[in-house]
Amino acid sequence: MKSVAGYAFEVFIVFLGVYLAFMVTDYQDEVRDRAVRIKYYDSLIFEFGGLIRHLDGEEAKLRRHLAVVEDIEKGNRPHIPASDLHYVYPAAVVAAAWEGRNFESLRTQDLRSIISGTPALTTLEELVRMLNQLSATVLLPAQIASENCCYRDDGQLREEFAWYPRLVGEIHELNRELRTVVVEQALPDLTSSKETLAEGGYWPL
């Protein structure tokens, strides 16, 4: 017959085996979870990189419109061009994050960086939509009817076209602010968090 010590040793071996099995399973789950989070960070970083390229492209167009606005303010009666601005940032990853609660995979600091830019994205989209709509429905028909439609006799812009310099200025300012948030806050935070995960460190909250 086995001694009490022998039975105790067998129980210990069984316990140790179960404990190690749990440890291995937990480790494998952690590795898989880390890999998923890293891919999610990669997707966000790629998407925000696309947003920066889009904002830079629109900035070049905005500078041309700002030059027209400057001429308007000087009373030079420049030709007002139709809007060529676009808002093409789909925000697919961010939208999927909200719908699928995937933001739980992000650190609080990263979440704040993304949320801080979300209202600006919505506002920018609306301002561009307004400019394009007014350009198509108000400016172009008026210019077709008369080349001198937009200005008073004293060279100042007519009140019904005052939306043009106002919207161009607001869009330009928001475009720059949004780019600053993404470049100086969101992307560095996301990149830092991804690198921490890739190093295999603990998930910081």
Helix (H, G, I), strand (E, B) or coil at 157: strand
Q: Which residues pair with 151 in a beta bridge?
A: 157
Q: Would you state the pLDDT for residue 158? A: 95
Q: Would you state the pLDDT for residue 203? A: 41
Helix (H, G, I), strand (E, B) or coil at 135: helix
User: 72 and 78 in contact (C-beta within 8 Å)?
Assistant: yes
DSSP state of 78: P
User: 160 and 146 in contact (C-beta within 8 Å)?
Assistant: no
- Cα distance from N-terminal residue to C-terminal residue, the chain: 54
DSSP state of 155: S
User: 136 and 144 in contact (C-beta within 8 Å)?
Assistant: no
Q: Would you state the pLDDT for residue 136? A: 95
Taking residue 91's Cβ as centre, other Cβ atoms within 10 Å add up to 19
Q: Would you state the pLDDT for residue 99? A: 43
Alpha-helical runs (H) found in the chain: 4-73, 92-100, 108-134, 140-145, 163-181, 187-198
User: 109 and 170 in contact (C-beta within 8 Å)?
Assistant: no
Per-residue pLDDT of the chain (205 residues), as tens digits, is 555 555 455 554 554 455 445 444 544 546 567 777 788 778 888 888 888 888 999 999 999 999 999 999 999 999 999 999 988 766 555 555 444 445 555 555 555 556 555 677 788 889 999 999 999 999 999 999 988 899 998 989 999 999 999 999 999 998 998 888 888 887 888 888 888 877 765 444 3
Q: Would you state the pLDDT for residue 31? A: 54
Q: Would you state the pLDDT for residue 78? A: 94
Q: Would you state the pLDDT for residue 197? A: 76
Rounded to whole angstroms, the Cα distance separating 144 from 148 reads 10
The model's pTM is 0.72
